[in-house]
Amino acid sequence: MNILREDKNAPRWIILIIDLGIALFSIVTAYFLRFNFSIPDTEFNYLPVSVAFALTTRAFSFYLFKTYAGIIRHSGFNDFQRIFFASILSTLIMAAGNVVLFYIESQYLIPFSIIVIDFLLTFFLMGAMRVSVKLLYRELVRTSTEQIPVVIFGAGESGLMTKRALDRLKEQNYNILAFVDDNPSKISKRLEGTLIIDGYELENFFKKNKVEELIIAVQSLDRKRKSEIVECALNHRVKVLNVPPVTDWINGEINVQQIKNVRIEDLLGRRPIRLDQDEISAELRDKRVLITGAAGSIGSGLVRQVARFYPEKILMLDQAESPLYEVDLEISENYGKGIGHVLIGDIRCYDRIRAIFEEFKPEVVFHAAAYKHVPLMESAPVEAIQTNILGTANLVDLSDEYGVEKFVMISTDKAVNPTNVMGASKRIAEMYAQAKNEVANKTKYITTRFGNVLGSNGSVIPIFRKQIEKGGPITVTHPEITRFFMTIPEACQLVLEAGMMGNGGEIYIFDMGEPVKIVDLAKKMIKLSGLEANKDIEIKFSGLRPGEKLYEELLANEENTVNTHHPQIMIAQVRPQDIESITSRLKELESKSGNSTPVELVRIMKDLVPEFISKNSEFAKLDNQKV
């Protein structure tokens, strides 16, 4: 028989009997201690009555506060609170009984000194019994005897809960060496017996002690400080893990399974974005909002953000049925059924999109549907034209026809001085939306530009992660290639903010922070995996792909910016567009997209976007020709 089975708990009546046994031992011991183990006859004669009175009051208070209700091996602060209050109450009852008896018989039943000693013994022994059982159980059930030395960064509530979660764990034997904190008032103090050391002494601590894991249990750390801590740990081959925000805890407690490895996304983001909640709510509340590309990374992120502002309906349009279904399930679970409506369709199909506008009459449109992979569009310009340009034109025209209030298009930094078909197609889409804004009856057309989005489908980080999991190599196109990065929530929040502040015709660009060298990103990801670059995982340089730049830009050569009230959002001052001229060229593209060669189609795109200079592409020859 396994008496340590997790599902076997001692019956409550046994715990109550043990507690009463402790109470009996405490009152008798209190007498012996008070009288130096020589109880006078006058007191000894009353001892049975005194003990019976003490046990009765203890039993009453134990029952009242349910001291026996907790699971002993999982005793916590609340259990000790119950023991304390039960002990206090029964002690007060004994003291009150003493006073009453004194007025009746002119003598005390139990000397007050014994009552005090009895209280201290009862509280201490009941608590000690629970702590002993908890510690004994923890040692007996551990399946591993090898200790894992751990340091917890953060000596606050989150850090303390993390320590307790690790202490409860049966499968592994964690040894908490220290808490680490940047708060000077906490340094050299102890938290549940564990020393708190200075965060800026972490390097020295790693040098002097063998540490296998560092768990970061502080949510308020800025990204720069967090990067410093992670870099310090990685340099000493210490694995780094993250505790999730308190809002993600289960029933107010952290589960060890929720403590995850630090991801590269945690180190590349910036300070949290502050949204103008009132303005966004005023624009979206009770509105019908159409989001194209709703199954994609940005589109689904926008769905999640928009849902927070109580729209009447979120119309989720995409042609990828399975991921769109998953987004719908998530939104229904989090915000209730009925808020989302799934629409399967292709923005290139004008009749299908018109039918959607006719039936649902959206009031706000977020256009995130697009082809975005540079090499793929370089090999298939017709697809970029039909989706990124003509599909966008369908939405732009129908938004004006059906009186949409705001049309917000998601663009890319690759539209700036484009060197590839994908970037040029997005620039042409920007130009058409901007030109349409000048002649629209009601709709305000707004464009947002930003760089690479961390963790989005097909982006470099998921690719690197898979390559690391396979043991390498990691492929980087060029040792000097750099990119701007932004997290999906950051991007979507800024799109919302910019879209709602826009008055029409603006192209908003976002503060993308500092550009990141892709090779440095690869090295850091390898380190985060506990490996070494070019030792455990090889980094190979494959050469720039067709249409690929060494660095991205957010502004074209002739563009400047104007600040807005939001510190992370600027307006790009771009050259005005003529609707008649660009419409005629789009009609030319449409008529030729089905029967022209890629070179002929790209030539028209270069006419529309003079700054489109191809790189590492078959279309570079067009730049040397007079068009």
35 and 162, same domain (yes or no): no
Q: Residue 3: which pLDDT band, with cuts at 50, 70 and 90?
A: very low
- For residues 271 and 84, the model is more confident at 84
CA distance 606 to 155: 59
Question: Of the residues 198, 233, 262, which one is the last residue of a structural domain?
Answer: 262
Structural domain count, the chain: 3
Domain that holds residue 556: 343-356+364-608
414 is catalytic: yes
Q: Do 134 and 163 sit in the same domain of this protein?
A: no
567 and 532 fall within a common domain:
yes
Confidence category of residue 21, pLDDT binned at 50, 70, 90 = confident
Residues 49 and 154 grouped into a single domain = no
Q: Among residues of the chain, what percentage have pLDDT more than 70?
A: 85
> Within this chain, do residues 155 and 136 fall inside the same structural domain, yes or no?
no
Q: Is residue 309 part of a domain?
A: no
Assess if residue 316 is contained within a domain: no
Q: Give a three-class secondary structure readout of 232-301.
A: HHHHCCCEEEECCCHHHCECCECCHHHCEECCHHHHHCCCCCCCCHHHHHHHHCCCEEEEECCCCHHHHH
Buried (b) or exposed (e) across 203-238, using 16+ Cβ within 10 A?
eebbeeeebebbbbbbeebeeeebbbbbebbbeeeb
Question: Does 114 share its domain with 223?
Answer: no
Final residue in a domain of this structure, among 113, 140, 167: 140
90, 92, 97, 102 alpha-carbon torsion, rounded to 10°: 150
Which residues lie below 8 Å from residue 523, measured CB to CB, with a gap of 6+? 533, 539
Most confident range, picked from 40-49, 73-82, 253-262, 338-347: 338-347
Top-confidence residue, 513 or 104: 104
Provide the CA 524 distance to its chain's centre, in angstroms. Answer: 20
Residue 8 reports pLDDT greater than 60: no
Query: What pLDDT is stored for residue 36 in this prediction?
Result: 81
348 part of a folded domain: yes
Better pLDDT: 521 or 557: 521
Q: What is the pLDDT of residue 191?
A: 85
| Within-domain flag for 284 | no
Pick the catalytic residue: 134, 287, 372, 414? 414
pLDDT tens per residue across span 281-321: 888 899 999 999 999 989 999 999 999 888 999 999 999 99
CATH number, domain containing residue 472: 3.40.50.720
Q: Are residues 129 and 249 in the same domain?
A: no
347 is a domain residue: yes
Residues 152 and 130 in one domain: no
How does pLDDT run across 123-139, given as a tens digit for each residue? 888 877 877 777 676 66
206, 228, 262: which is the final residue of a domain? 262
Q: Which CA distances in Å does 486 have to 91, 107, 295? A: 62, 80, 19
Q: Is 117 part of a structural domain of the chain? A: yes
